[in-house]
Structure 1
Amino acid sequence: MFRKILIIISIAIFITACGDDEAAGFDPAKHVRPIKTYKVTSVKRMDVRTYPGKIRAGKKVDTSFILSGSLVVLNVKEGDYVEKGSLIAKLDDASYKHNLNTIKAQVEEATLAFQRAKKLWISNAISKADYDKAKSAYDVLQSQKELAEKSLRDTSLYAPFSGYIAKRYVDNFQTVSAGAPIASVQNIKEIEVVVNIPESLIMNSSQNLDYKAYAVFEVPFNKQYEMELKEVGTEADPVTQTYPVKFIMPSPDEITVLPGMTVAAKIVVSESYDEGEFEIPESAVFSDSSGKIFVWVLDENMTVHKREVKTDGLKNNSVLVLGGLKEGEEIASAGIQHLVEGLEVKRFEKPENLK
């Protein structure tokens, strides 16, 4: 029995001695550890926000006469499509025609009188004053004729551009005043999307921020269309503290979009950093007892080296690095507590941001 105990103790001592020898001979620098890595790149930080928007016509005009009178022609009704230059309405032009004919007769007389005066002045039969008087009378009547012709033309109202009649404000044979709206013409080949943007987004805008805006329609299948910024209002709504922002876009061909419809406006905000600033995973950084922040950087031989970095805040599980890293460098992004200086590693897989 005593002999068996001695044998067991001897075996245990032998095993322990062998284990100590292996531990003493273990070199972390020669141990290849698989790790996850991250490629340092100057990617932009994205922020997506969605706001309700309202569709408006890209171009809309309330047409009106510059003269007063009675309507004798009203060629349009709401919903009609009109080509640029087509007749919308016409005023009774009888008095304007009569006035033009009267002035034309006076112009003919003044023309003959001026021609006679010119011949007489050349032959020194009349004074320069008499010649100037005849010429002045002719010039005045010519101007009156041009005004009368314009007034006659202004009795007809034409479409300023091709589009649809959104609203008709009057009926035919009605007496209208100068400047009173007759019909509203709108062009919906290009549409306007009006979105009320919170003041916080307006305040945070800077040269480092890029915006892309999309109109998202439920039909077909939440398809989105890129929009172009048209203008930003500078007066906030006193209740909502939002600012009206207008975007423009071509009207989609595959769906019918009309003014007054609602649409979701998706605003994609991307922020670019200054040179030497990067976002890296929170799991890639660690600190020492002094509070300094470090990362493990891989060299060309796939060994890791501890490097101090300057950071500024945490957002969405990412750390903003202000200094200490260069574009294209590769860092350990997980399992950093198992790494030591000079340890040889291998990639567990592609850098997580390059998959």
Structure 2
Amino acid sequence: MSFPATKILCLGIGITLLLGCTEKQPETENVIRPVRFQEVTHQTSNPDLTFTGIVKADIETDFSFKVTGTLVSLNVTLGKRIKKGDLIAALDDSDAKLKYDKQLLALQKSETQKDTAQSNLTRTKGLYENNTVPLSEYESAKEKYSNANASFETEKRAVDLIKRELGYYKLYSPVDGVVLLSDLSINENIQPGQVISVIQSGNTLVVEVGIPEQYVSRTKINQSATINFSSIPNKVFKGNVTEVAYTANTDTSTYPVTVEIINPVNTMRPGMPANVALNFSSGIKLDSVLIPTHSVSKDSSGDFVLLLMVSNDGFGIVRKQPVTVGDISNKGYEITSGLNIGDKVITAGISSLVDGMKVRLLK
């Protein structure tokens, strides 16, 4: 085969391969993404902010021992009702009793020495007044009695102190109440100040919630609230703010706020979770525009939403719209500028959208 013929053959094969590869490439399809939207309307009711909290008794007392010892008696269990004067718990006081007995013997010995010194002083005084003994002997008798009496008073105070300490080995309830906490075991070693039990007393129940920094300044004493429980369905209870903390909880970075339940029922128990709704109507007006919080995005230019411009063919075009965000409620962000009534704000499928994209409407 001549060189020109070989060249022509190779060129033909290359063109054939190129055409074959071109025919196998699939055509790229334009994907029209689906979106959901919400029409902008006026806020028609005062927005409430809802916070989750825990029911507590208005009076809760922690009980602990003042001394170290081994737990030998525990007479309370979770939920048990107790009366004033009931024994809560006791520590082993055998060593303390032995110490008390020894100190009592020392007191008795000291008392005997004091009585002997007093008798000697009385006798010596009479002899001195009759000029039978010298003044030095009388002064010596007075000094011995003074020392013996001082020693007696010291031993007496020691007995009183140990006797009082013996009382620290038993805990008695000073009030009627219900046990909220008691999870210790017999023979457990107890340290001073360690909580043995928590007793609820009083008839008032409260809910303690954590309020974020931006709302705590607007939370006021006697502010009304509504409370509901998942365990008590279809019922709403009235509440009243009774305490607003001045310092934040370091664990949650929120401010503890106490809300009293005005109309409690017997099925409520300390420890139950509750939802407390507080009204901050002074921050968001009735005619405000509210949209879901997840509909608002932010970039280097500021806050914005994606609007849907609906076309006649059932599709729509995405348009980026800058907005000014105001306050927040459980219904969403307040939009103070940038939106008009009737605007269609995209609420689902936002992450994959860009300005000018064609989209499909979901019902």
TM range (shorter): 0.5 to 0.7
2:238 matched residue in structure 1: 225
Distance 1:135 1:261 in 2: 62
**Mapped contact 2:207–2:259 kept (Cα < 8 A):** yes
Q: Does 1:192 align with 2:206?
A: yes
1:244 and 2:243 equivalent?
A: no
Mapping of residues 130-141 of structure 1, within 5 Å: 130-141=144-155
Report the equivalent of 2:266. 255
What are the Cα deviations for residues 10-58 of structure 1, in whole angstroms up to 9, with x where unaligned?
xxxxxxxxxxxxxxxxxxxxxxxxxxxxxxxxxxxx9663422321232
Alignment partner of 1:59 is 2:72: no
What are the within-5 Å matches in structure 2 for residues 176-191 of structure 1? 176-187=190-201, 189-191=203-205
Q: Structure 1 residue 173 and structure 2 residue 173: aligned? A: no
Q: Partners in 1 of 2:139 and 2:107 — Cα distance?
A: 22
Q: Is residue 108 from structure 1 mapped to residue 119 from structure 2 by the alignment?
A: no
CA 1:210–1:250 in 2, change beyond 3 Å: closer, same or farther? closer
Over 3 Å counting, the alpha-carbon distance change for 1:72 and 1:243 in structure 2 is closer
Moved over 6 A (4+): 236-239
Structure 2 residue matching 1:185: 3-state secondary structure: strand
Residues 243 and 82 (structure 1), Cα distance of their counterparts in 2 relative to 1, 3 Å cut: same
Identify the range of structure 1 (109-118 vs 145-154) with the bigger mean alpha-carbon deviation.
109-118
Question: Within the alignment, does 1:235 sit opposite 2:248 as a pair?
Answer: yes
Asked if the contact 1:251–1:257 (Cα under 8 Å) also holds between the matched residues in 2, the reply is: no
Amino acid corresponding to residue 256 of structure 2 in structure 1: P
Would you say the 8 A contact 1:188–1:251 is kept in 2? no
What are the equivalent positions in structure 2 for 1:45-124 lying under 5 Å apart? 49-52=48-51, 53-121=53-121, 124=125
Separation of aligned partners in 2, 1:211 and 1:178: 39
3-state secondary structure, aligned to 1:154: helix
The verdict on how the C-alpha distance between 1:162 and 1:48 changes in structure 2, with shifts beyond 3 A counting, is farther
Name which of structure 1's ranges 149-158 and 137-146 shifts more when overlaid on structure 2: 149-158
CA contact (8 A) 1:230 1:247 kept: yes
Q: Which runs of 5+ in 2 are unaligned?
A: 1-44, 126-137, 283-363
Indicate how the Cα distance of structure 1 residues 251 and 157 shifts in structure 2: closer, same or farther if over 3 A, else same.
Answer: farther
1: CA distance, partners of 2:68 / 2:158: 19
CA RMSD of aligned residues (A): 3.4
Could you tell me which runs of 5 or more consecutive residues in structure 1 were left unpaired when the two chains were aligned: 1-45, 272-355
Listed one character per residue, the Cα deviations across residues 165-192 of structure 1 (whole Å, up to 9, x for unaligned) are: 2232321233333333323323363223
2:221–2:244 Cα contact (<8 Å) kept: no
Q: Report the AA paired with residue 48 of structure 2.
A: R
TM-score between the two structures when normalised by the length of structure 1: 0.53
> Does the C-alpha gap of structure 1 residues 204 and 155 become closer, same or farther in structure 2, counting only changes over 3 Å?
closer
Tell me the distance in 1 between the aligned counterparts of 2:262 and 2:151.
Answer: 55
**How far 1:113 moved relative to its partner?**
2.4
Q: CA distance change for structure 1 residues 185 and 169 in 2, over 3 Å: closer, same or farther?
A: same
Q: Which amino acid aligns with 2:50?
A: Y
Deviation at 1:74, TM superposition (A): 1.7
| Identity, % of aligned positions | 24
Asked if structure 1 preserves the Cα contact closer than 8 Å seen for 2:239 and 2:259, the reply is no
Q: Give 1:81's aligned amino acid.
A: R
- Give the AA of the match of 1:132: S
Distance in 2, matches of 1:175 and 1:262, equals 33
Q: Which residue of 1 aligns with 2:223?
A: 212
Cα distance in 1 for residues equivalent to 2:146 and 2:263: 61
1:228–1:249: 8 Å Cα contact kept in structure 2? no
Q: Deviations over 1:45-87 (max 9, x none)?
A: x966342232123233442222222222222222211223211
In 1, the alpha carbon distance for the partners of 2:221 and 2:65 equals 45
Contact 2:237 2:263 in 1 (8 A): no
Secondary structure (helix, strand or coil) at the match of 2:89 reads strand
1:152 aligns with 2:166: yes
C-alpha separation in 2, matches of 1:199 and 1:184 = 30
How big is the shift at 1:137?
Answer: 0.7
CA distance in structure 1 between the partners assigned to 2:153 and 2:250 by the alignment: 56
TM-score (norm 2): 0.52
CA distance 1:47–1:119, change in 2 (3 Å): farther
Displacement, 1:144? 1.0
CA positional deviation for 1:101: 2.0
Distance 1:64 1:268 in 2: 40
Check conservation: 1:117, 1:126, Cα contact below 8 A: no
